[in-house]
Amino acid sequence: MIPTVEQVLLLTASLLGDPSQRKFTNAKLQPFFELAYEELTGEMARYFLPKQKRSTTYQLTANTTSLTPATASISNFGELILLEERAYGSADLYTKVEAVDALPQRLATDRLAEYEWSNDQFNFVGATQNIQLRITYLDSGVAPTTGSVGIDGSKNYLAHRTAALAAIPSGNVELGDLYDRAARGPMRDGGGGHMHTLIQAMVTAMQKVKTQMPAYESDGFGIRNVRIE
């Protein structure tokens, strides 16, 4: 299951003996969560695990001509994969909004049709009706502040590591050490604990994704079957 930031921080506070979050509020835990998240994504990079792909929707009001990722509540926008649109409130299939180097000189229609990316924002001619955008992108690696964490199965690692980091400034060194070992293993190097379990599951899943061998290929004299049944 992919946890939300709120779920991770609630478990963190519970581990620290504050399930009602009177002391360990989300705001207080966020800096420690960011460190734990950075350590996890760094370990993922070490194993050449791909960045997380995310998708969100946003209602673009009629005649809007620009949109920043931050306005669409995207705090960790890395690289756009796909921008799609449909009339807001409809059940239409999404259609691709095409990237262009410069917006065309034309009258607005009921769809966006194309966008230009410049100055870290999407620019449009604008549409005559409200548009529902679907934005699919790669995570920048920056820890989110709200909503989905984006990493499947990461709740236990992130909560225990965040709790370990937050416990030390509070004077509870022993508890911090306990949760650090649970998060990163006895040697506290990622070779055990929740981090090891999580990374190994990711590596195993990636290894199962294999490119299927083509059924036929040319041998210079025609086409021959190369698949071994």
In a domain, 214, yes or no: no
Please indicate, yes or no, if residue 114 is contained in any of the structural domains: yes
Q: What is the mean pLDDT of residues 191-211?
A: 87
Per-residue model confidence (pLDDT) at position 201: 94
199 and 152 in one domain? Answer: yes
Q: Give the pLDDT mean for 161-185.
A: 96
pLDDT score for 211: 44
Residue 226 included in any domain: no
Task: Please check whether residue 172 is in contact with residue 94, taking contact to mean a CB–CB distance below 8 angstroms.
Answer: no
Threshold 0.85, pTM exceeds? no
pLDDT higher than threshold 50 for residue 225: no
135 and 69 share one domain:
yes
Same structural domain, 81 and 154: no
What's the rounded mean pLDDT across residues 127-140?
95
Of 139, 166, 189, the one marking the end of a domain is 139
- Select from 139, 171, 186 the last residue of a domain: 139
What pLDDT is recorded for position 184? 97
Q: Which residue has the higher pLDDT, 210 or 22?
A: 22
Domain count, the chain: 2
User: How confident is the model at residue 173, as a pLDDT?
Assistant: 94
In the chain, % of residues over pLDDT 90: 76
Task: Determine the pLDDT at residue 209.
Answer: 66
84 and 33 in one domain?
no
Dihedral sign for Cα atoms in the order 157, 36, 33, 204: negative
For 203, the domain range is 5-51+142-208
